[in-house]
Amino acid sequence: MTKLRSREWFNNPDDPEMTALYLERYLNYGLTLEELRSDKPIIAIAQTGSDLSPCNRHHLELAQRTREAIRTAGGIALEVPVHPIQETGKRPTAMLDRNLAYLGLVETLFGYPIDGVVLTIGCDKTTPALLMAAATVNVPAIALSVGPMLNGWYKGERAGSGSVIWQARQQLAAGEIDAEEFLVLAASSAPSVGYCNTMGTASTMNSLAEVLGMQLPGCAAIPAPYRERGQMAYYTGLRIVEMVREDLRPSKIMTREAFENAIVINSALGGSTNAPIHLNAIARHLCIELTNEDWERLGHAIPLLANIQPSGQYLGEDFFRAGGVPAVVAELMRAGLLPNPDAICANGKTLAQNNSGIEAADADVIRSVENPLLQDAGFLNLKGNLFDSAIMKTSVIGDAFRRRYLCDPNDPNAFEGRAVVFDGPEVFHETIDDPNLEIDENCILVMRGAGPIGYPGGAEVVNMRPPSYLIKQGIHSLPCIGDGRQSGTSGSASILNASPEAADGGGLAILQTGDRVRVDLNNRAVNVLIADEELADRRRTLENAGGFKAPASQTPWQQMFRDSVQPFSEGMVLRQAPKFQDIERK
């Protein structure tokens, strides 16, 4: 076994004075000298659960099982708090705090006597934040999902997290339900502890953490209240102690090959459009270059196998019973679609060893490659005179969409529409139903000022509903373009995460309502159809007026974040991030 990192603090014969100082305060609540000076690895449980973080709150219970396992395996468990990130509760957006929680955990893992860490993941941004921190400090680490909530039900139908809200919003706008029923519907989708039961960003990122090899096989899909969840917490605690003894670190698990696997699995899961931002960010902290081009090249042609809302019909409990992530991995492997089956996982085995031969227990919930829900379920990487990179899920383009936007009878992949531009989500909500905007079924809704700088952290607002008069006519979605994000639980034809954003000199800043925008999927291009001279004129006018206006920062962290954040296409990481790789690897 390599020398434990914690020995530098607690058992350093070259520096008896500091050793005494480090030791004394950890003794004051009952830990003994024998324990702290033995060769027991000190394992942090990075605790994301709290009363403020309901999605992850069940980790407070699960940590008891993990602690018992760490003790059983011969380690010492120290539970340490992580800055809370609650997707639904945090203003202006939980995305702002992904980098804050990551920074905090980097300091914790680097600056304290910690030999290994259990990352308690769950709600959307907790997974990337914790994996980014573990990647940076590179101490042995294993992730433990809190698990999805049980299936929600309303009037005999599955009610999925987020998805039910998008439907209810439309019903509310159309006058079919009132605010009271909206609330009842929303609450019906959240029947137990755990995170969103749809394949939103939480289920996506927890599943991808398993595919990356950072969780034990089968961990991601177990619903939070199930007995298997507590048992998994125990096995995870046993395993981290062994990982410290084997010196199995994140950099050996989260390799380029592992990220390639995760991109492919994301397509098969119908994973969230937030996944490229988060995976590109985690990779960056391992000095692996991962780009939106990689997402298109590796992920676009992969079929959708997981029949889970919002792309499909079922929810988390169904996914678990059908075999969860291992059944999806096994099916892609059987069809020869998984690029790197030999990638190493936290249990020391390869992805192939962990998952080969597992068959879906329900062929409707997890489809075969021969019978998928959709072909080409991954993302395209688009560019043009409005932005350098944005992603689009083409699988949501249906026949009605083609009829309404097709601009060239000889080309089924070229669309055009009239842009209607909104400066941020507040303006959208105030004006969407204003008839003066003349929004019809051939319009494209554009949201700008919603990127990492414009709306600090990047608003999850590009899934814009049509005006209520169109909904009443049966038009339930319009295509959207934006420099913000879209909730992983919604599913309209959207061009998202446009980088650079309007507030960072991106072309969306000079788009005007009434401009024609052309989307040419064959050439991966999105362009506003106006002459270059006119574009240059508009840009000059904007610059003379002082550039695109974003609201003032409300907190110190918002300003620090804005001063150093990189675009969505680069993972929304802090400019300083790669330098953290120079941290001495202890």
Q: Which is nearer to Mg ion, 124 or 317 (CB)?
A: 124
Site for ligand FES in 434-463 (CB under 6 A): none
| Contact residue for ligand FES among 82, 105, 123, 332 (CB under 6 A) | 123
For residue 120, state whether it binds ligand FES (rule: CB under 6 A). Answer: no
The DSSP annotation for 169-230 comes to HHHHHTTSS-HHHHHHHHHHT--SSSB-SSSSHHHHHHHHHHHTT-S-TT-TTS-TTSHHHH
Q: Which is nearer to ligand FES, 46 or 240 (CB)?
A: 46
For residue 161, state whether it binds ligand FES (rule: CB under 6 A). Answer: yes
Q: Which is nearer to Mg ion, 124 or 318 (CB)?
A: 124
| Contact residue for Mg ion among 93, 198, 203, 487 (CB under 5 A) | 487
d(CA 310, CA 321): 18
Element spanning 480, H or E: strand 480-482
Asked if 387 and 506 count as a contact pair (C-beta separation under 8 A), the reply is: yes
Q: Nearest approach, Cβ of 95 to Mg ion (angstroms)?
A: 8
Asked if 120 and 55 count as a contact pair (C-beta separation under 8 A), the reply is: no
Nearest to 123 by CA among 77, 81, 90, 160: 90
Q: Nearest approach, Cβ of 278 to Mg ion (angstroms)?
A: 11
Among ligand FES, Mg ion, none, residue 195 binds (CB under 5-8 Å by kind)? ligand FES
Q: Nearest approach, Cβ of 434 to Mg ion (angstroms)?
A: 27
Site for Mg ion in 561-580 (CB under 5 A): none
Classify residue 530 as exposed, middle or buried by CB count within 10 Å of its CB (0-12, 13-18, 19+).
middle
For residue 465, the number of C-alpha atoms closer than 13 Å in the C-beta half-sphere is: 22
d(CA 454, CA 494): 19
Among Mg ion, ligand FES, none, residue 167 binds (CB under 5-8 Å by kind)? none
| Contact residue for ligand FES among 45, 75, 84, 87 (CB under 6 A) | 87
Contacts of 84 (CB under 8 A, 6+ apart): 48, 50, 52, 53, 90, 97, 101
User: Tell me, what amino acid is at 80?
Assistant: V
d(CA 575, CA 479): 32
d(CA 130, CA 285): 11
d(CA 85, CA 454): 20
207 to 246: interface string for ligand FES, x by CB under 6 A: ----------------------------------------
Q: Nearest approach, Cβ of 465 to Mg ion (angstroms)?
A: 17
Among Mg ion, ligand FES, none, residue 161 binds (CB under 5-8 Å by kind)? ligand FES
Strand-pair category, 116-121 with 76-81 = unpaired
Q: Nearest approach, Cβ of 423 to Mg ion (angstroms)?
A: 22
3-state secondary structure of 112: coil
Nearest to 94 by CA among 125, 60, 63: 125
| Contact residue for Mg ion among 201, 203, 207, 267 (CB under 5 A) | 201
Binding residue count for ligand FES, defined by CB under 6 A: 10
Among ligand FES, Mg ion, none, residue 487 binds (CB under 5-8 Å by kind)? Mg ion
Q: Nearest approach, Cβ of 200 to Mg ion (angstroms)?
A: 6
511 to 550: interface string for ligand FES, x by CB under 6 A: ----------------------------------------
Among Mg ion, ligand FES, none, residue 64 binds (CB under 5-8 Å by kind)? none
Q: Which is nearer to Mg ion, 67 or 125 (CB)?
A: 125
Q: Nearest approach, Cβ of 54 to ligand FES (angstroms)?
A: 8
236: which DSSP letter?
H
Q: Nearest approach, Cβ of 164 to ligand FES (angstroms)?
A: 12
For residue 55, state whether it binds ligand FES (rule: CB under 6 A). Answer: yes
Can you say how many angstroms the Cα of residue 445 is from the centroid of all Cα atoms in its chain?
24
| Contact residue for ligand FES among 79, 124, 242, 570 (CB under 6 A) | 124
Q: Which is nearer to ligand FES, 48 or 99 (CB)?
A: 48
Asked if 307 and 313 count as a contact pair (C-beta separation under 8 A), the reply is: yes
For residue 190, the number of C-alpha atoms closer than 13 Å in the C-beta half-sphere is: 14
Structure tokens at 409: 């009878």
Among Mg ion, ligand FES, none, residue 235 binds (CB under 5-8 Å by kind)? none
Site for Mg ion in 81-140 (CB under 5 A): 124
Q: Nearest approach, Cβ of 124 to ligand FES (angstroms)?
A: 6
Q: Nearest approach, Cβ of 204 to ligand FES (angstroms)?
A: 10
Asked if 418 and 445 count as a contact pair (C-beta separation under 8 A), the reply is: no
Q: Which is nearer to ligand FES, 56 or 558 (CB)?
A: 56
Structure tokens at 134: 């573990």
Contacts of 58 (CB under 8 A, 6+ apart): 49, 146, 147, 193, 194, 224, 225, 229
- Count other Cβ atoms within 10 Å, centred on residue 470: 21
| Contact residue for ligand FES among 84, 116, 128, 200 (CB under 6 A) | 200
Q: Nearest approach, Cβ of 385 to Mg ion (angstroms)?
A: 30
Binding residues for Mg ion (CB under 5 A) = 124, 201, 487
Binding residues for ligand FES (CB under 6 A) = 55, 87-88, 123-124, 161, 195-196, 200, 202
